[in-house]
Amino acid sequence: MIAGIDIGSRSMELVVLENGTPVHSRTLPTTFDPLSQCEELLDGIKPSAVVGTGYGRELVKKILERLHPQCPVSTVTEIKAHALGAVHWFPEARAVLDIGGQDTKAMSIKDGRVLKFEMNDRCAAGTGKFLEYTAGVFQIPVDEFGAYALKGDKAPDISAMCTVFAETEATSLMAQGHRPENIALGLHKSIVKRTRNMLGRVGLSSPLVFTGGVAKNPCVLSLLKKELGAKARLLVPDEPDMTGALGAALSALA
């Protein structure tokens, strides 16, 4: 039984493999106490090996030392984990886009190996955080923000790249009388534009697998499809936010 754990800024995921196939998965919010959360995540699991990934991958080592000191633990970066996870679902994948809570990554891959990757820098622009923050301005739960934005039909241009300035810009657009659905659509568009540039820098190959929590956002998905054009194939796994944890677990098999 191999466990992959992905600790991100917003949530943490666990995927358990048996004979190379995922048999169990789980997610919990990271909160300010990731150690206890991760302990809970592993509750009842007796892994023979654990691989940590994500922002908090070093924490996984700490927890295992406490819970299962005999169990071998290693770490991989979220880049490699997402590539492995994506290829597991879609062996034909040539590129992966992951939009998570705190960062966005784009990579081109071949035969499961990462050829080139890009990540956003320390700024939250274009990440899940951006949507979470701006959804807050509309007082809409972030999970419903995409569906809400899809009701818009005419997106005003949002040029601010900074999350904080984008909020200011959204507020002033509201004051100018723009429909809130349209502003929401504009905010989604600005993310997709940024993402498209990042994909361009790694070489925009197809099929592209879209992973991470934001892949569940229907508005981002439809805008991205439009942006990439009819020729590109965009694939989304059933549980896009589990890709990192799955890939981490798979890395133990390689």
d(CA 55, CA 245): 12
CB-wise, 114 or 235, nearer to other proteins? 114
CB-wise, 13 or 103, nearer to other proteins? 103
Question: Rounded to the nearest whole angstrom, what is the least distance from the CB of residue 115 to other proteins in the complex?
Answer: 7
Question: Rounded to the nearest whole angstrom, what is the least distance from the CB of residue 78 to other proteins in the complex?
Answer: 7
Contact call for residues 180 and 174 (beta carbons, < 8 A): yes
Question: Rounded to the nearest whole angstrom, what is the least distance from the CB of residue 99 to other proteins in the complex?
Answer: 15
- Find the helix or strand (DSSP H, E) in which 75 lies: strand 73-75
Residue ranges binding other proteins (CB under 8 A): 55, 76-80, 103, 113-117, 119, 121-122
Q: Is 154 exposed, middle or buried (0-12, 13-18, 19+ CB in 10 A)?
A: exposed
CB-wise, 115 or 174, nearer to other proteins? 115
Contact call for residues 137 and 167 (beta carbons, < 8 A): yes
Question: Rounded to the nearest whole angstrom, what is the least distance from the CB of residue 247 to other proteins in the complex?
Answer: 12
CB-wise, 110 or 226, nearer to other proteins? 110
